[in-house]
Amino acid sequence: MGGTSLAEPGAGSDFRAIATTARKVEGGWLLDGENAWLTNAAFAEITLLYAQTDSAPETKGFAVILIDTNAPGFERLKIH
Protein backbone atom coordinates (compact mmCIF):
# COMPACT_ATOMS: atom_id res chain seq x y z
CA MET A 1 0.00 0.00 0.00
CA GLY A 2 1.31 3.43 -0.91
CA GLY A 3 0.59 6.97 0.13
CA THR A 4 1.39 10.57 -0.66
CA SER A 5 2.70 13.35 1.56
CA LEU A 6 2.31 16.93 0.38
CA ALA A 7 0.88 18.92 3.28
CA GLU A 8 2.99 20.50 6.03
CA PRO A 9 2.09 22.21 9.29
CA GLY A 10 1.84 25.93 8.48
CA ALA A 11 1.95 25.38 4.70
CA GLY A 12 -1.00 23.15 3.96
CA SER A 13 -0.66 21.97 0.36
CA ASP A 14 0.83 25.25 -0.95
CA PHE A 15 3.94 24.19 -2.95
CA ARG A 16 5.54 27.65 -2.55
CA ALA A 17 5.32 27.39 1.25
CA ILE A 18 6.80 23.87 1.59
CA ALA A 19 9.78 23.98 3.94
CA THR A 20 10.87 20.33 3.63
CA THR A 21 14.18 20.16 1.78
CA ALA A 22 15.99 17.48 -0.19
CA ARG A 23 19.75 17.92 -0.56
CA LYS A 24 21.82 15.79 -2.94
CA VAL A 25 24.48 13.83 -1.04
CA GLU A 26 26.75 10.95 -1.92
CA GLY A 27 24.54 7.91 -2.41
CA GLY A 28 21.19 9.72 -2.59
CA TRP A 29 19.28 12.56 -0.99
CA LEU A 30 19.19 13.91 2.56
CA LEU A 31 15.66 14.95 3.56
CA ASP A 32 14.89 17.48 6.26
CA GLY A 33 11.40 18.51 7.28
CA GLU A 34 8.05 17.43 8.61
CA ASN A 35 5.01 16.48 6.59
CA ALA A 36 1.52 16.04 7.97
CA TRP A 37 -1.69 14.39 6.83
CA LEU A 38 0.02 11.56 4.98
CA THR A 39 -2.52 9.63 2.91
CA ASN A 40 -2.70 6.00 4.15
CA ALA A 41 -0.22 6.88 6.92
CA ALA A 42 -1.21 3.97 9.13
CA PHE A 43 -0.37 1.32 6.52
CA ALA A 44 1.67 2.80 3.68
CA GLU A 45 4.92 0.94 3.02
CA ILE A 46 6.01 3.56 0.49
CA THR A 47 5.04 7.20 0.07
CA LEU A 48 5.72 10.10 -2.25
CA LEU A 49 7.28 13.11 -0.52
CA TYR A 50 7.42 16.60 -2.02
CA ALA A 51 10.46 18.74 -1.14
CA GLN A 52 12.36 21.89 -2.11
CA THR A 53 15.69 21.16 -3.81
CA ASP A 54 17.51 24.50 -3.72
CA SER A 55 20.84 23.00 -2.67
CA ALA A 56 22.53 23.29 -6.08
CA PRO A 57 21.74 25.03 -9.38
CA GLU A 58 21.28 21.74 -11.24
CA THR A 59 18.70 20.54 -8.71
CA LYS A 60 16.86 23.82 -7.97
CA GLY A 61 13.11 23.44 -7.76
CA PHE A 62 10.89 20.71 -6.36
CA ALA A 63 11.37 16.98 -6.19
CA VAL A 64 8.98 14.11 -5.69
CA ILE A 65 10.87 11.40 -3.84
CA LEU A 66 9.76 7.82 -3.25
CA ILE A 67 10.24 6.97 0.44
CA ASP A 68 10.39 3.53 2.06
CA THR A 69 8.45 4.07 5.30
CA ASN A 70 10.53 1.35 6.98
CA ALA A 71 13.75 3.31 6.35
CA PRO A 72 15.72 4.80 9.26
CA GLY A 73 14.53 8.30 10.09
CA PHE A 74 10.93 7.83 8.96
CA GLU A 75 8.63 8.29 11.95
CA ARG A 76 4.87 7.94 12.30
CA LEU A 77 3.41 10.17 14.98
CA LYS A 78 0.05 9.81 16.71
CA ILE A 79 -2.87 11.66 15.14
CA HIS A 80 -3.88 14.65 17.22
In-domain check, residue 51: yes
In-domain check, residue 79: no
The whole model's pTM is what?
0.71
In-domain check, residue 75: no
Instruction: Write out pLDDT tens, residues 5-58.
Output: 767 777 776 777 788 888 888 988 888 888 777 777 778 888 888 888 865 566
Q: Which domain holds residue 25?
A: 2-68
Q: What is the pLDDT of residue 59?
A: 57
User: What is the C-alpha to C-alpha distance for residues 53 and 56, in angstroms, rounded to an integer?
Assistant: 8
Q: What is the pLDDT of residue 72?
A: 86
In-domain check, residue 17: yes
Q: What is the pLDDT of residue 26?
A: 92
Higher pLDDT, 1 or 20: 20
In-domain check, residue 24: yes
CATH number at residue 17: 2.40.110.10
Number of domains forming the structure of the chain: 1
In-domain check, residue 8: yes
